[in-house]
Amino acid sequence: MISFVASHGTVLKEPLGLFDDDSSYVDDGGTFRDFIIKQNEDVLTLKSFDNLGHNSRSPSLKTVNVNDYGAKGDGKTDDTQAFYKAWQVACSSSAAVIVVPQKNYLLKPITFSGPCKSNIAVQISGTLEASGNPSDYSKDRTHWLMFDNVHKLSVKGGGTIDGNGNIWWKNSCKTNKKLPCKDAPTALTFHKCNNLVVEDLTIKNGQQIHVSFQDSVNVKVSSLTVTAPENSPNTDGIHVTNTQNIQISSSVIGTGDDCISIVSGSRNLLATNITCGPGHGISIGSLGAEESKEFVSGVTVNGAKFSGTTNGVRIKTWQGGSGSANRIQFQNIQMDNVTNPIIIDQNYCDQATPCTKQQSAVQIRNVLYQNIKGTSASDVGVQFDCSKNFPCQGIVLQNINLQLEGGGKAKASCNNVKLTYKGDVDPHCP
């Protein structure tokens, strides 16, 4: 059968001692350390196949080519049923690899459901293109391609997933204020997929979010290229919700919204070697909308480059919510012409009317910014707009150098934040 083995990455050098030892609200570093160790022990990776698509230890591996089940791959014929038939065969096999050759396959919404009998690899060499007819999504406007409850799954192969999102962007309320706001499909969704590998794919022109990881455990994501026009609305690159133990590495993301968005229930996320731009940066949140109680913890971004983005590293929460964003590290980051390089916004308000001031807030604590340099497109390179009743706590800045794009000194704006400086930090809070 297809075998999974532990992937042991490099353990990060820990700056954990930077948090003040005498602070009652600062973690002692043990949880960060446990996160990194567990992350490298738990995330699984699929062994590679040989040129014939067979694993040397899996003589009974079944190869399922979508063309053998009626797929035309001419970019015009609806190939949805052929893909569904191929999936049914693979899912009921003792071990299988689904092969998508180098053709252009037109697909309507489809869900690949588990649990399956054994491990499955999906080898995408060609292009999957979404139907551009909104009526094809009448049963579910929120998904195009979805893997649901499939464990020990690998999706890779160097191919392209094209959401054909232009028709959705034109009819978005963010593009045309006169239109009502409606859902649009996520291009690729992984829901309840444990021990998952997704790598070496291009995902472009998502109808809305490009790829979403939901309610999953032990996920390895690498070598993705995610692209959409800068003005495409709500086209987050990688979206993570209620998922634990996830690595995202060596990926290039440029879209009309967040390059990576991390929302409630996400825990133990490690992002390394990320190139972001255009887009809205890497965001934790938004959290706490509609007075909800939400939690995010154990997030590390180590090694990233932001070019021309609206934000760099951002934490955003609504007033009136509760819960926490805790144990977060942003390290070794280059900012080039970024409007808000470092920003915490506990007064986030994404609605047409002003948000009502409220007393409660999502607590933000134990956040490290280390080795961040580059240029700010705005006067304010560092902005902490925190809650008066729930101030940001345990915020550490070490070795920060942000200057204005074109020369000159950037400023810092800091409200209701408890800060510690280490090393050279510019700009400083007033």
Return the active site residues. Answer: 280
Dihedral in degrees, nearest 10, Cα atoms 216, 221, 225, 229: 30
Q: Please state, in angstroms and rounded to a whole number, the distance separating the CA atoms of residues 168 and 289.
A: 25
End-to-end CA distance of the chain: 61
Q: On the CB side of 128, how many CA atoms lie within 13 Å of its CA?
A: 30
Q: At which residue do the structure tokens 């232009």 appear?
A: 166
Dihedral in degrees, nearest 10, Cα atoms 262, 265, 270, 271: -10
Q: Please state, in angstroms and rounded to a whole number, the distance separating the CA atoms of residues 234 and 162.
A: 16
The dihedrals phi and psi of 66, each to the nearest 5 degrees, come to -60, -25
Query: If you count them, how many residues does the chain have?
Result: 430
Dihedral in degrees, nearest 10, Cα atoms 9, 11, 13, 19: 120
Query: Residue 176: what residue type?
Result: N
Q: Which of 206, 234, 238 is nearest to 350 (CA)?
A: 234
Query: Residue 389: what residue type?
Result: N
